Amino acid sequence: MSEPKTHRTRDIFVEGAIAPAFVAESIAKHASQTAIGAHEIFLGQVRADVIPGSTRNRVEAIEYTAYRDMANEQMTVIREEAFARWPQMTCLHVHHSQGVIKAGELCFMVFASAPHRQQAREAVAFVTDEVKKRLPVFGKEIFVDGDHHWKVNS
């Protein structure tokens, strides 16, 4: 039995929105890895939510901040857990925006590759949920009328 592979801490944060071209490039970079049979991707996008009872307070953007070092360390733990649960997974990439992201723009990406779709699908669902639960990332919803409030993940 081989020793489990440990992964180095990576900075998952990007300044600004995640460009759709970045998503396409991420997929293209894996085309030469012919042992991969499946890619699964979750993309989070800022919604233009409306606060109930008000048409003035539509979300225009979310300003993301984080305890970056702590979040990156915790992300390493989540990665290790994911690779332990799905050892045939060949790669796992997570990116989260920092700064002001407008409604309609991408702010979060989880990308997993594996020989088979079920492994990739389960890993992406697990990682997405764990990031939302465990990483100290904060979103301040900014409304069209200039008001704001702190987003609470459900």
Instruction: Tell whether 35 is covered by a domain.
Output: yes
Count of the separate structural domains present in the chain? 1
What pTM did the predictor assign?
Answer: 0.91
Instruction: Tell whether 9 is covered by a domain.
Output: no
Rounded average pLDDT per 10-residue block, the chain, 154 residues: 65 97 94 92 95 76 97 97 96 97 98 96 98 97 88 73
Contact between 112 and 124 (Cβ < 8 Å): yes
* DSSP H or E run through 123: helix 117-134
Distance CA 26, CA 30 (A): 7
pLDDT for residue 1:
45
Q: Which is nearest to 19 in space by CA: 128, 105, 94?
A: 105
3-state secondary structure of 132: helix
Burial of 59 (0-12, 13-18, 19+ CB in 10 A): buried
Instruction: Tell whether 83 is covered by a domain.
Output: yes
pLDDT for residue 4:
56
Domain boundaries, position 55: 20-147
Instruction: Tell whether 154 is covered by a domain.
Output: no
CATH number (domain holding residue 95): 3.90.1170.40
